[in-house]
Amino acid sequence: MIDSSHIGREFGAHTADIEKGRLRFFAKATGETNPIYFDEEAAKAAGHPALPAPPTFLFSMDMEVSDPFEILEIMDIDLEKILHGNQEFTYFKDVYAGDSISFTSKVTDIFDKKGGALEFVVKKTSATNQNGDVVAEMTRTIVVRNG
């Protein structure tokens, strides 16, 4: 069983610079076709100050740490037993090329189902821009298969 004393534990704080090339690459990789994600003039014509970050882009930036599986190692969870259970995003402000986003994460819940056959770790990440504004919150649920 995963030790519930990890609830509230913070980890993985880091900062990422949002670059135009990365935004374009992500938009293309996710099948985005809206020109505001590729063309700065189209973005500005649509009222944006620069290329905006496509939906879910911040998740990829949150994973850009030296050890993206730190949470699993700290909790002694076998990587071969995990599944991605859920991902939720709450957006407060747009993110643009040129922004610097700081990420802070913590474990907000640990619970089990089916008599412990499945355990769930809920991780909440807050993304804050260079002005101190929270731009998004992301919640990820990791499922651990036991037995």
User: Which pTM value belongs to this model?
Assistant: 0.90
CA distances from 54 to 35, 37, 60, 124 (A): 11, 7, 11, 20
What is the topology classification, in CATH, of domain 4-19+58-145?
Thiol Ester Dehydrase; Chain A (3.10.129)
Structural domain boundaries of the chain? 4-19+58-145
What is the arrangement of strands in the sheet containing 100-113, beginning at the earlier edge strand? 10-17, 100-113, 118-128, 134-145, 82-91
Q: 13-63: per-residue pLDDT in tens? A: 899 999 999 999 999 999 999 999 999 999 999 999 999 999 899 999 988
Return the pLDDT at 92: 98
Task: Label the pairing between strands 82-91 and 118-128.
Answer: unpaired
Return d(Cα 135, Cα 93) in angstroms, integer.
5
Q: 129-146: per-residue pLDDT in tens? A: 999 999 999 999 999 999
Reduce the DSSP state of residue 83 to 3 states and report it: strand
Rounded to whole angstroms, the maximal C-alpha distance in the chain is 56
Closest CA to 124 of 144, 104, 143, 110: 104
